[in-house]
A and B are shown apart, each in its own frame.
Chain A
Amino acid sequence: MRSKIRWILLAVLAAAFVGAGLSRISFNVEILKMLPTHLPQVEGLSLFLKHFAQPNELIVTVECASPEAADAAAEALAAHFGTRPDLVKRAVARAPWEKNPADIAELFAFMLLNQPPEKVREIVAGLGPDKAAATLQASIEKLTESISPQEVALLSYDPFNLAGAMSTSGLMSGTQQSEFSSADGTFRVVYLESAKPFANYKENIAWLQSIRGAAADVKLPAGVTLGFTGEPAFVADISGSMEWDMQSSGFVTLVIIALVFWLCYRRARPLMQLQGMLLLIFTLTLATAGLFLSELTVIGVGCAAIMIGLSVDYGYFVYQRSLGHTGSVRELQKECFQNIAWTATSTAAVFFALNLSSLPGLSQLGNLVGIGVVIGAIVMLTVFAPLTMRFRRSAAPHHESVIERLFASPRFLNAGAWFTLALVVVLVGALFILGVPQVDFSARTLRPRKSDAYTALERLQARLIDDRNVLSLIVSGKDEAETLTRLQAAEGELAAAKKRGEVKGFRTALPVWPVGENQRTNLPLLSPLATDLPRLKQAVLDAGFKDEAFALTDAILRQWSAWSTDAPPIWPTNETSRWILRRVASRNPDQVLAMGMVQPIAGHEDAVTAAVQRPGAWLVSWGQLGRELKRVIPQEFVRVIATLGAIYLVIVGIGFRNVRAVALFVVTTSLVLVCLAGAMSLLGMTWNFFNLAALLLLLGTGTDYSILLLLALQRNGGDAPAAQRELGLVICLCVLSASAGFGTISWANNVGLANLGQTCALGLLIDALISLFLLPRAWTLLHPKRMPL
């Protein structure tokens, strides 16, 4: 009775723990969260994504053979979403200033307010009673002489030539790249802002589905193709595929484990119990992760399958031991404890040691798998072991499985050794001939394999705005003044880089950045001008202009007057201004950021980036990130692997207390890594951020096989065939399960995660073959008289 209450209490506590943990699980789709935050590219790109990526702005692309149909479709979509305030706060199919031209006056007034005081004094003088007529006459002359359509159109609505005071360089000058339509009009874009910010990725996915559904309801001209991209589409795509990858890889791993177990033992009840244990371990690990770790990144998602693949090893070991066990449960637990504690400790230690890395993604991977391994060992020893004993007592005597019979056959062991030797020769030869696998740190490995959002983005880049070779300038400061100083310094560097031939062109937020000092000086000069409006209007009419020619001047002068009591720095606030500034300026209570675009000359990206790089200023792109990772990550991995290798050697040294065993372990592990590199070269695989992590996983998992074999040789007095017989089945089960775990993520939607799965599965198979067939043979060759280790 007491035992029952204890179990019920334990179950309730476990349920509460699991409930609390799972409810806190959240995904972070930002790939940068996995990379070292101290890297300038990571730092700059993180700021870019946080402040300028527009998390609530969906980009709907409209493509059609006819410009008229594309225009009609874009307008229809914007009109339809304009009637759905439950979904969309703002639907924009053309620039806001096209809808409300008068709105532009605010931004215009703001930009003039930022001009140097001497220029503003000139403006004020030009508007004075004695100069106004001459200013207007000069404009009329320009209207007569100019061949520039821009100048003619502008001057006819700006008769006092206020725009003449503004700098023509920078953000707004030159040919305007439309963010709404391709040059031929057959590709249009509609921007949809969500009605409210998304609380989590599930809300984001649901919103996108609603938008797709609502768009399908709009009657569009025939032949129109819609695409959905932008931050909400990426979040929905990536988090959706992460969720799916996690669930599907975990599920498929469980199925494969069940098949392997069934083929070896042909027993249903222990199979069900083992599956139950794995689910329990997975749930407890995920709940622990939810409670103690921050958001799961894409690399953490892959751990579900890996954890199951590793934890099942302990289950196999316990079950295999239980088949021949005649003592009590406690004795079985004691018997298994040494081996499981040994491998679990070493595996967990290696994974937890990943915290030594400066890569947050690797640390998370290490923590997740480490927690999973520890929980797995505890569950298998405390829950599964008693179950196997209970089952064993009621089951028929154990019959040898096919694998056990094979490992009992000297012919099979010989054939296995020759096959593995041949494989090693081929792989080492491949490495020698083809060289080490190439390194690929491009953004390709960081993105999903299939993504509608990426497809739409590629169309957008091909048809509208190709920013693939553009570097983004991010400038940050504690306030507008600090950001301005840094922005000016960055502009200076960019201008110098342009002179050196490193930059084709650049545009920064400088022309639309508030200059507090100028605003303070200019405002008292400009705000009283509103009192002169009647006189100025009369002067305009007298010069031959119509009423409408004065509208812009009128609006600007009134705006200055409206700002007269505001404290600098003053920002424009109407819809048009906000639309224009949303991609170039971002303000928070403790940080003010500006953005710019730089077109580098190919081959000079590093030089320009280095020239601009300084505290608070970054020149970033995904391409530059790849280059930076290529420089930094291999060194980082070498450091981490060397540290882990040293830790492993110490653990193995203490465990074996035998130099030859340690030497054999080192040679085996090295040979596995060499063969893996050869296999990767042969298969045309490349090293990237993700599958470099696979090396660490191999250190943590694959080495268990050689350790177990060496321990078995120790137990069997150096009798290699006996050791192979003892561990053949368990290692086969382990490698099949672990490879299944990794194998299932080979099909993950994330390219990098899939590469990690492929590399690990390949590495584990090689490791198992070498450990099972060559390691005992090598020992026998070295010690023909069966010397005990």
Chain B
Amino acid sequence: MSDKPSTSEAMIKMHVALIEAAATRIFPTTSTPGASEAGVINYIKRLLDEAFPELVPLYRSGCRALNRHAKRRFGVGFLRIAVTDQDVVLADFEAGRVPDFSQASDFFEVLRTHTMEGVLGEPAYGGNRDMVGWRLVGFPGHQFGYSDSYINQRVDLEPVAVDRPYPNEEEWRAKSR
């Protein structure tokens, strides 16, 4: 193994806090867990390392633009402004209203998509820690199947994270007979 850091590690050192802060505003922690508790930052780090290294430049320039735009509007960098002001900055990105960064809305959409994948995706990819995202929305994960009684009711099964083996296959088959 080489000591050279992977692409996203090199970037993340500078920008990890910015990405995490922005993701936290996209899916905030309230009385229930948000992006932070789901481990979205782990999901995005792994995504940039393993799946989409070609997106590193967009993340890098996006993070720099977040800071520039925060300074322009509020006098200091993104991490030092109030969360309500962070929301204003992010709304400008969403609408493409960032004068010196033409990819602002692209960056916002990518970040939003990846944040939601990190909240709602399979835990094996680094996010959705302890399936907090699935618990929040009421998705019981990858069940082997569903017996009739779950139609029209809140499904109160413990979520299942992995495809195989199905921990409840025996039980389900017994029920379905």
Query: Is chain B found bound to chain A in the same assembly?
Result: no
